[in-house]
Structure 1
Amino acid sequence: MARPQSDIEAGREQLIDLVMAMIDERGSAALTVAEVAARANMSPANLYRYFDSKEALIEAVAGRWFQPKLDIMEQVVASDLPPRRKMYEFFARRFALMKAEWEADPVAFALHVELGKEHFELIRSYVDLGDHYLAEIIGEAMGEGHFAGLSVDEALSLVNQMVNVYVNIAAMELIMPKLTTDKLARIIDAVFDGLSAQDRGAKAVSGLRAA
């Protein structure tokens, strides 16, 4: 007889809790289904009732980690803030949350970074979703006359490069103490004030002269 769905979901949540605790202890490099099952006091066969593979389990763990960040993005995009402020909040709120996680336990944060590197294909959808929401904000900004001469994709690429260390957790981890929301605000102002298809001199220099 099949278990009630609520029972299955409760078991899944408990296993996610367990795996996240194991990752916090020593990372995911040696994480196996057999080890997770042993820690959960169940057989591997029983664990597969909840997750049909190790990859599915890791994907669920990633989903748990990313969910608060997704909630922030959805709240900001749905808000009635003007585009410039909306873009700042889109990045600043997620950064503040991740910096708080890093400050609470830098080692655990680093281990989750490694997990993301090892299983990037499993989390690519979250990166793509972030780009989708950012493109919506850029579209709103263009509707108000910003980023003239650029396509949404061009602006998206430029914005991502300019704010990379505030969203790329691997890059962020390396210089976290130097990152602040005040600096991010200046970057967003630079994005809005500086992005233009018109060359203002940077490409006009034909060559370098020796001093």
Structure 2
Amino acid sequence: MRLKHHARTQLAITLIRRGMRTSLVGRISGLRPAMLRELHHEIHGCKPLPGQLPSTGSLLGSARRQANASVFAGLYRAFGGAAVQRSIDIEALLTGHRIYLEQMARLAASGTLGPSLDINHGWVIARDLTTGLVLFRTCERCTIPYVAWAYSHRVVDCPICALKVSRPSRDGADRPPHDEAVHSPPAGNHEDHITTTDP
């Protein structure tokens, strides 16, 4: 029991250091909120900030953001395999996100994909892959794999093809093509299926 608790505490420390919200860390580790708040204060020197997680629609709300999310999701699946569509693989999530940030750092100068997704954004994508709200697809035109929102109403669903036909704004803002209508996902609870490794 002590070893199991130690492993969960170490996992919680890793997740908090990576910037994950304590509410998510609690779901994954099973540790009490009071302990997680104390760990957060010791690691970051402040109390955890409240707030809601982003919606799937906002993370995939434009071709640029969808392409950004596709880079992370592709790396996540590369480390977790097809099983990530059934349950969240925490180790694959952490590794995939670390490699994703390294790739985004190389693209930062171009601003091609906009701001990087943080670990909480990655969690939302990983979660919604298990519920079917986010789907892996491969474009028939450019053959590039990408992720799409199950309720997307775009004429061009592939973000790479959509970016090719879109016109960048003068100030470099994230202006989606005219066919990128985005609607909020239907309300409902998400059940998280989490895969962790205990000694």
Asked if TM exceeds 0.5, the reply is no
* Greater relative contact order (CA < 8 Å, ≥ 6 in sequence): 2
Q: Which has the higher helix share?
A: 1
